[in-house]
């Protein structure tokens, strides 16, 4: 590995000072930092770290994700392989680790804690406490991933507590996932040894969790956007803050990553050192990551930017290797092979029909919320045609369905949803958190069936059916979650299918990402699994009709 010297205005995030410096890198390590009289007109600072992300949601394998992220100054991610684990189990986790080792980018994977996330849905695998303990003993696993089963934590479920205990025994931190927990319940959750949360959607909730010792990850992803609600933490509790994306679709990853949160925070006037420590330092310290922070003898993981207003990433270095320059990745494309678990047989239109059984005429409707994972429950009049409950485009009440992808002929689970705004056709996806069954929303059964069968034919992907005879699909052959193509190609393909979805009338910013969370049972209030409509506040199934 070659040695080199670089100069610029160095931002020291520990001494909290900026000074002209010469940095010498030898064998991937910062060997010398010298204060000098005159330096190049550029700034040197540590690389950005995404403190919580599911790489799978970028629809890219790790090596392809890395090629895109380095352009935005990201050098490392704290990555939860929960999605592929729900499809392929430990083999899926190992797939992510093996692929990630083919790039210098620094991926730090966790042991998925909730596979399946609940017993109210069908997953492709199960990881019990013994499996989790085995993963945690691996040097390739850095923490216990988000503990979604907060009822299990609060009720001290033996399996849940065994997983947390295994992390503590291995000396590895435990990530949280506790939307809406406040006061005494937040305290009980934290007292189990869970140290982070990325699900806060109000400042008061975040403050409650800070009070009991938790670190708050401010999330701004493609669907869930909590930055505006939580950014005041950068002033109130700067040492308790990290930045994360959680889920980032490829079309947005082309544009930005953690750098966008840094720039936005500086534009709002938050303290430079508080912002950069959240983006560069706190994840490294909390998870004990071997990522450099621009100090003597650190790995040379740093970035060069033009100034602190534009924050244009001029260069990104990882372990002393120049991996991006002037908006272009210097990392090569790495070919990968698929892994999958897909058994569903094609469906018929009749399987999507919902017979009206009750006389009340009222139905429970999921209300999706733009920019949030939470939903609410509405009680609305159902539209009945020929004895069947059907979509009502005039009131934006559309049919939603989830199909078990792990069994050949499982029944179709159906419900109704508001906020998607489709006027015709259907959109479908095998990215359906957490178990990644097939999820589809549509105006008519024929279009829904066509969109679903296109995904079954491809064994995974996302699709748009303008009608039953006009269907477009984007295959995702890696677990039905990721493509084998390079990032820019995937981004272009995704932009096109997103355009087709919006052509059907949806006004959602990220309709496929929002759709994927409508099967996420651990986030209240009303969701749909392959087994039926689920009340996330009571943690039990409920009927569609009132």
Q: Do 236 and 356 fall into the same domain?
A: no
Last-in-domain residue among 283, 317, 336: 283
Task: Give residue 316's pLDDT.
Answer: 98
Q: Do 370 and 259 fall into the same domain?
A: no
In 252-272, which positions are buried (b, 16+ CB within 10 angstroms) versus exposed (e)? bbbebbbbbbbbbbbeeebeb
Please state the φ and ψ torsions of residue 300, each to the nearest 5 degrees: -80, 70
Sign of CA dihedral 35, 39, 43, 48: negative
Question: pLDDT per residue over 178-194, tens digit each?
Answer: 988 999 999 999 999 99
CA–CA dist 37, 35 (Å, integer): 7
Determine the 3-state secondary structure of 204 from DSSP. Answer: helix
Task: Give residue 1's pLDDT.
Answer: 62
Region label for 90, one of left (φ > 0), alpha (ψ between -120 and 50) or beta (otherwise): alpha
Residue 461 located in a structural domain: yes
Q: Do 156 and 55 fall into the same domain?
A: yes
Nearest to 143 by CA among 286, 291, 318: 286
Task: Give residue 537's pLDDT.
Answer: 87
Report the domain count for the chain.
2
Task: Give residue 227's pLDDT.
Answer: 96
Q: Do 525 and 438 fall into the same domain?
A: yes
Domain hosting 158: range is: 47-283
Instruction: Indicate the DSSP class of residue 537.
Output: T
Task: Give residue 293's pLDDT.
Answer: 98
CA 494 to mean position of chain CA atoms: 17
Residue 269 located in a structural domain: yes
Residue 31 located in a structural domain: no
In the chain, which residues have pLDDT < 70? 1, 371
Do the beta carbons of residue 287 and residue 277 sit within 8 Å? no
Question: pLDDT per residue over 366-403, tens digit each?
Answer: 999 886 788 999 999 999 999 999 999 999 999 999 99
Q: Do 114 and 233 fall into the same domain?
A: yes
CA–CA dist 170, 193 (Å, integer): 13
Residue 521 located in a structural domain: yes
CA–CA dist 377, 390 (Å, integer): 18
Q: What is the CA radius of gyration of the chain?
A: 23
Last-in-domain residue among 253, 283, 313: 283
Q: Do 135 and 236 fall into the same domain?
A: yes
Q: Do 82 and 225 fall into the same domain?
A: yes
Output the DSSP codes for 209-232: HHHTT-EEEEEB-SS-B-HHHHTT
Residue 353 located in a structural domain: yes
Q: How far apart are the first and last CA of the chain?
A: 68
Residue 63 located in a structural domain: yes
Model's pTM, two decimal places?
0.94
Task: Give residue 20's pLDDT.
Answer: 98
> What's the CATH code of the domain at 104?
3.20.20.140
Nearest to 245 by CA among 221, 262, 261: 221
Contacts of 278 (CB under 8 A, 6+ apart): 218, 234, 238, 241, 242, 243, 265
CA 118 to mean position of chain CA atoms: 18
Residue 475 located in a structural domain: yes
Total number of residues shown for the chain:
546
Q: Do 257 and 163 fall into the same domain?
A: yes
Task: Give residue 207's pLDDT.
Answer: 97
Task: Give residue 120's pLDDT.
Answer: 94
Residue 382 located in a structural domain: yes
Last-in-domain residue among 246, 267, 283: 283
Q: Do 413 and 268 fall into the same domain?
A: no
Please state the φ and ψ torsions of residue 66, each to the nearest 5 degrees: -55, -40
């Amino acid at each position: 590995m070659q040695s080199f010297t670089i100069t610029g205005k160095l931002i020291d995030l520990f001494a909290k000072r900026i000074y002209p410096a010469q940095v010498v890198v030898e064998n991937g390590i910062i060997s010398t930092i010298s204060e000098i009289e005159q330096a190049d007109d550029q700034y040197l600072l540590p690389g950005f770290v995404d403190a919580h992300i599911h790489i799978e949601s970028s629809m890219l394998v790790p090596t392809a994700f890395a090629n895109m992220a380095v352009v935005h100054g990201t050098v490392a991610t704290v990555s939860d392989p929960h999605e592929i684990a729900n499809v392929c189990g430990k083999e899926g986790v190992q797939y992510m680790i093996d692929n990630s080792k083919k790039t210098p980018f620094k991926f730090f994977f966790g042991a998925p804690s909730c596979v399946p996330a609940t017993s109210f849905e069908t997953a492709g695998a199960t990881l019990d406490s013994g499996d989790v303990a085995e993963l945690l003993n691996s040097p390739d696993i850095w923490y216990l991933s988000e503990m979604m089963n907060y009822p299990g934590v609060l009720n001290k479920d033996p399996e849940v507590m065994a997983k947390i205990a295994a992390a503590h025994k291995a000396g590895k931190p435990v990530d949280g996932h506790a939307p809406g927990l406040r006061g005494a319940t937040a305290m009980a959750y934290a007292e189990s040894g869970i140290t982070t949360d990325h699900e806060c959607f109000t400042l008061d909730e975040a403050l409650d969790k800070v009070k009991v010792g938790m670190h708050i990850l401010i999330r701004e992803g493609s669907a869930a956007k909590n930055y505006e609600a939580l950014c005041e933490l950068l002033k109130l509790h700067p040492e308790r803050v990290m930045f994360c994306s959680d889920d980032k679709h490829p079309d947005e990853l082309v544009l930005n990553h953690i750098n966008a949160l840094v720039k936005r925070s500086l534009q709002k006037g938050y303290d430079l050192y508080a912002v950069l420590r959240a983006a560069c330092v706190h994840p490294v310290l909390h998870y004990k990551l071997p990522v450099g922070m621009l100090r003597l003898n650190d790995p040379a993981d740093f970035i060069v930017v033009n100034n602190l207003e534009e924050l244009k990433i001029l260069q990104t270095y990882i372990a002393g290797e120049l991996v991006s320059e002037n908006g272009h990745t210097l990392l090569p494309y790495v070919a990968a092979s698929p892994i999958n678990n897909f058994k569903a047989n094609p469906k018929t239109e009749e399987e999507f029909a919902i017979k009206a059984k009750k006389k009340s005429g009222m139905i429970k409707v999921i209300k999706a919320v733009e920019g949030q994972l939470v939903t609410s429950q509405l009680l609305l009049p159902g539209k009945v045609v020929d004895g069947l409950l059907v979509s009502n485009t005039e009131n934006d009440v559309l049919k939603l369905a989830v199909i078990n992808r792990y069994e050949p002929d499982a029944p179709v689970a159906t419900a109704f949803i508001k906020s998607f705004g489709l006027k015709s056709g259907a959109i479908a996806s095998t990215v359906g958190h957490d178990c990644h069954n097939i999820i589809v929303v549509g105006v008519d059964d024929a279009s829904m069936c066509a969109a679903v069968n296109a995904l079954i034919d491809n064994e995974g992907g996302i699709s748009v059916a303008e009608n039953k005879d006009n269907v477009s699909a984007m295959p995702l052959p890696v677990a039905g979650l990721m493509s084998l193509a390079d990032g820019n190609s995937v981004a272009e393909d995704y932009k096109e299918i997103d355009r087709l979805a919006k052509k059907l009338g949806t006004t959602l910013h990220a309709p496929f990402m929002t759709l994927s969370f409508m099967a996420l049972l651990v986030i209240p209030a009303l969701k749909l699994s392959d087994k039926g409509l689920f009340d996330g506040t009571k943690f039990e199934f409920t009927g569609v009709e009132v």
